[in-house]
Chains A and B, each alone.
Chain A
Amino acid sequence: MNMPFDALGDLSDEALLALYASGDRAAAAALSSRLTPLAYRLAARMLGDLAEAEDVAQEALLRLWKIAPDWRAGEAKISTWLYRVTSNLCLDRLRKRPNIALDTVAEPLDEGPSVEANLMVKSRTDALNNALLALPDRQRQAVILRHLEDCANPQIAEAMDLSVEAVESLIARGKRRLSEILRLQKAELGFEE
Chain B
Amino acid sequence: MNEKMSKQDTDTLDLDGFFEAAKSTPPSVSSELASAVLADAYAFQPAPAARPRQGLPKSRWWQPVLAHRNWGWQTAAVLGAFLVVGFGIGWNPPDQLLAFGSDYGLTLSGFAASDPFSLDGIWEEG
**Does B97 touch A at the CB level, under 8 Å?**
no
Residues of chain B at interface, number, CB under 8 A: 34
Contact B19 A28 (CB under 8 A): no
Min C-beta distance of A181 to chain B, whole Å: 10
Contact B12 A175 (CB under 8 A): yes
**Does A31 touch B at the CB level, under 8 Å?**
yes
Contact A186 B14 (CB under 8 A): yes
Interfacial chain B residues near A175, Cβ < 8 Å:
11-12, 15
Contact A61 B14 (CB under 8 A): no
With the chains together, A151 CA to B25 CA distance in Å?
A: 18
Contact A69 B18 (CB under 8 A): no
**Does A176 touch B at the CB level, under 8 Å?**
yes
Interface string of B1-30 (1 = CB under 8 A from A): 000000010011011011101111111111
Q: Which of A22, A33, A40 contacts B46 (CB 8 A)?
A: A22
Min C-beta distance of A85 to chain B, whole Å: 14
Interface string of B93-110 (1 = CB under 8 A from A): 000000000000000000
With the chains together, A110 CA to B59 CA distance in Å?
A: 63
Query: Could you tell me which residues of chain B, from 21 to 57, have a CB within 8 Å of some CB in chain A?
Result: 21-30, 32-34, 36-38, 40-49
Q: Which of B8, B14, B46 contacts A191 (CB 8 A)?
A: B14
> Which of A28, A29, A31: most chain B Cβ within 10 A?
A28
- What are the 5 A-B residue pairs with the smallest beta carbon separation, nearest first? A23-B48, A124-B21, A179-B11, A65-B44, A44-B27
- Knowing that A22-B48, A148-B19 are A-B contacts, what are 9 other residue pairs whose CB atoms are under 8 Å apart, sorted by A's residue number? A32-B34, A32-B41, A61-B37, A62-B40, A112-B25, A125-B25, A127-B18, A175-B11, A182-B15
A contact set with B: CB distance below 8 Å: 20-25, 28-29, 31-33, 36-37, 40-41, 44-45, 50, 53-54, 57-58, 61-62, 65-66, 68-69, 109, 111-112, 114-115, 118, 120-122, 124-125, 127-129, 131, 147-148, 172, 175-176, 178-179, 182-183, 186, 189, 191
What would be 14 A-B contacts, judged by CB atoms less than 8 Å apart?
A: A22-B48, A23-B45, A25-B45, A32-B38, A37-B29, A40-B29, A40-B33, A57-B29, A65-B43, A69-B46, A118-B25, A122-B25, A131-B18, A191-B17
